[in-house]
Chains A and B, each alone.
Chain A
Amino acid sequence: MAKDLVEFRNLETHFQTTAGTVKAVDNVSFIIREGETLCVVGESGCGKSVTAMSLMQLIESPPGKIVGGEILFEGEDLLKLSKREMSRIRGNQISMIFQEPMSSLNPVLTIGNQISEPLMLHMLLDRKAAKKRAIELINLVGISRPEKIFDSYPHELSGGMRQRIMIAIALSCDPKLLIADEPTTALDVTIQAQILDLMRDIKQKLNTSILLITHDLGVVAEMADYVVVMYAGKVIEEAPVLELFQDPQHPYTKGLLKAKPIINQKQERLYSIPGQVPNPIDLEDNCHFHDRCEFCMDICKVKQPPFRSHGKDTHKSACWLYEEEREVL
């Protein structure tokens, strides 16, 4: 098995609001291995992006703050690094692409300028060498006429091209980990497929690990080696991708899979999980999914289920259905 690249250990990221504390990331632990694509899945507001932003340490503070846990990157705790040390890792060994390619590039700077920036900063290239490398990168992400694109401004490019440019920027310093926060959500379907293909290609060529954040199970099936499912700030299930699709354990995961439309299968109505995501402020110590769960038991309402494997080592979930202890209580 490949080496661990990143390990989240009991990460806690909280946001202070006037209404109370939001535990956006609540005791989250998982591991990203070298050369692996890990997908984090969940509804909007479940803490996927905050987990990634915590890793980059780009949480707006205030109101956000990482209050506990560790994030180990090649064995070193990123949370203990100084600002300067962290900015040497950011964009260099860990880089990130975002959901909105339309607004993620600076409108008043040329594409070339924006790609060259990390090259000159982290790789210490001079302007000329940076330009050469930038043109190579633009080529690598599959854009023709890279010299012309180098001198263009973001508004002259389409959404798909801008996302390719974002990927080029992210790849500029050969990162060990690429974080992609819903990279295809804002793009239309054909472009989505192209961008995903590109990311897969790059992963194979450069052996980069990818942390892919998405709510699209289609993307998960296509890209992931390993899947982490989050709900209301907690990891509720993790498993290798095939296992998760074949044998989901947590009722929430089951619901998600059921809610996915399947081609060639006529359905009267698409399944949807009843109810709504709970209010994230001051959540109680119970299973946060209990009021939407069809298997809800008494214990679910008062106590949080432990997160552990039930059978196979690699497949973990947090649900009382698989616990013996419930009989005792």
Chain B
Amino acid sequence: MKQYIIRRLLQMIPTLIGISIIIFAISAMVPGDYITARANPNMSIEKQEQLRSIYGLDKPDYQRYFIWAGNMVKGNFGDSMQHKQPVTTVINTYVWNSFIIGIFALFFSWFIAMITGIFSAKFQYSFFDKIVTLLVFICMSLPSFFIGLLLIKFFALDMKLFPVGGMITSGLNARGWEYFIDVLKHSFLPIMVLTMLSTGSLTRYFRTSMLEVIRQDYIRTARAKGLKERTVIFKHAFRNAMIPAITLLGFELPGLFGGAMILEQIFVWPGVGHIYLNSINMRDYPFMLGFTIFLAMLTLLGNLLADVLYGIADPRIRLK
């Protein structure tokens, strides 16, 4: 097992090199750079050229790639041009804000999707199943900004239950428990929207997977043993139905840290998705490239994690 993981980690190196070339090439092909993006009318051409050479933007693309990639190998992601801080520091500042929303939404959406998926499969074509299918359809077809604005209107403006946006109440110098409650209040709506968005497709996924499993011969065997329906569903069917979902769980890993660009914009949540989008607009190369590589690494790790978990859950592909 250890050997397998080490081998897989080593295999990631060429993949990452490939990824770095592609994303660098794409960023280099996009017209404009950090200087033009700032569009300062008072800046003279000479001054612009001077800045370019300070930032190293005047060098040919391949040279810039090697400088950047060489620094990355040494673990140096460079400094964000926009924030005047090391890229890692910027990521560290904002990524946890996104993580809070991400992890809660992940937990709730998986929990809800599992329960509703199982029951709507168990009672296929029942009233419950039809309602679930309808809700799933609604959740999947409404865009996040629409649901987001709708919820703000109802819960924040009309009912005044939750704040409209932000992460903490400005001017409130709360510490400890009070601070926690304040953040919780602010994060409620974004978490709710994110949960709604992902619950729809997940429920469909679990429902289909469960429907397939409860038609299997071994479920009939389990019933023929005289087992209680609860045991049949939760012991015999559930584990088999969950196996294909592990792949999905692996893909959730980058999503946890990647932030939700549109949602963070709507709820004025100081998450990393927001910053990332900005860095692209501003052609803040070090941050934009660094964060993309970070997400790529998480995707690869998520894949590895999924494969390892697969082996644990399914004895048929367990490594000897």
Contacts and interface: CB of A to CB of B under 8 A. Distances in A.
A98 B222 CA distance: 12
B31 interface: no
A153 B226 CA distance: 22
Interface in A79-115: 87-92, 95-96, 98, 100, 103-109
A117 B236 CA distance: 11
A301 interface: no
B227 A117 contact: yes
A56 interface: yes
Given A56-B224, A121-B225, A121-B226, A104 B315 contact: no
B261 interface: no
A169 B243 CA distance: 25
A87 B226 contact: yes
A121 B221 contact: no
A35 B19 CA distance: 71
Nearest to A170: B224
Contacts of B226: 87-92, 118, 121-122
B216 interface: yes
Contact of A106 (B125, B218, B313): B218
B313 to A, nearest CB: 7
Interface in A52-90: 56, 58, 62, 87-90
Interface in B211-255: 216-218, 220-228, 235-236, 239-240, 243
B225 A91 contact: yes
A105 B227 CA distance: 14
B223 A107 contact: no
Given A58-B220, A103-B216, A108 B315 contact: yes
A109 B236 contact: yes
Most B CB within 10 A of own CB, among A100, A104, A105, A106 = A106
Nearest to A115: B225
A150 to B, nearest CB: 14
Contacts of A103: 216-218
A166 interface: yes
B316 interface: yes
Nearest to A62: B125
Most A CB within 10 A of own CB, among B125, B223, B228 = B223
Contacts of A105: 218, 221
A31 B246 CA distance: 50
Contacts of A155: 315-316
A58 B226 CA distance: 10
B315 A100 contact: no
Nearest to A108: B239
B314 interface: yes
A106 B223 CA distance: 12
Interface string A177-203: 000000000000000000000000000
A118 B221 contact: no
Contact of A95 (B224, B240, B315): B224
B264 to A, nearest CB: 39
Interface string B5-37: 000000000000000000000000000000000
Contacts of B223: 58, 90
B217 A104 contact: yes
Contacts of A166: 221
Interface residues of A, number: 28
A103 B219 CA distance: 10
A227 B226 CA distance: 28
A96 B217 contact: no
Nearest to A58: B223
A24 B217 CA distance: 20
Most A CB within 10 A of own CB, among B224, B235, B239 = B224
Given A109-B236, A153-B316, A169 B225 contact: yes
Nearest to A110: B315
A62 B123 CA distance: 10
B128 to A, nearest CB: 15
A226 to B, nearest CB: 24
A89 B226 CA distance: 7
Most A CB within 10 A of own CB, among B220, B228, B239, B243 = B220
Given A98-B220, A155-B316, A106 B225 contact: no
A121 B239 CA distance: 20
A161 to B, nearest CB: 16
Contacts of A121: 225-227
B221 A108 contact: no
A88 B227 CA distance: 9
A216 B222 CA distance: 27
Contacts of B314: 107-108
Given A153-B316, A155-B316, A107 B218 contact: yes
A176 to B, nearest CB: 14
B1 to A, nearest CB: 17
Contacts of A88: 226
B222 A106 contact: yes
Given A106-B240, A107-B315, A107-B316, A87 B228 contact: yes
26 contacts: A56-B224, A58-B220, A58-B223, A62-B125, A89-B226, A90-B225, A90-B226, A91-B225, A91-B227, A95-B224, A98-B220, A100-B217, A103-B216, A104-B220, A106-B218, A106-B221, A107-B240, A107-B316, A108-B240, A108-B313, A108-B315, A117-B227, A121-B226, A122-B226, A153-B316, A155-B315
Interface of A: 56, 58, 62, 87-92, 95-96, 98, 100, 103-109, 117-118, 121-122, 153, 155, 166, 169
Given A91-B225, A105-B221, A108-B314, 13 more contacts: A87-B227, A90-B223, A98-B217, A100-B217, A104-B217, A104-B220, A106-B221, A106-B222, A108-B239, A109-B239, A117-B227, A118-B225, A155-B315
| 3 residue pairs, one from A and one from B, having the closest CB atoms | A91-B226, A91-B225, A90-B226
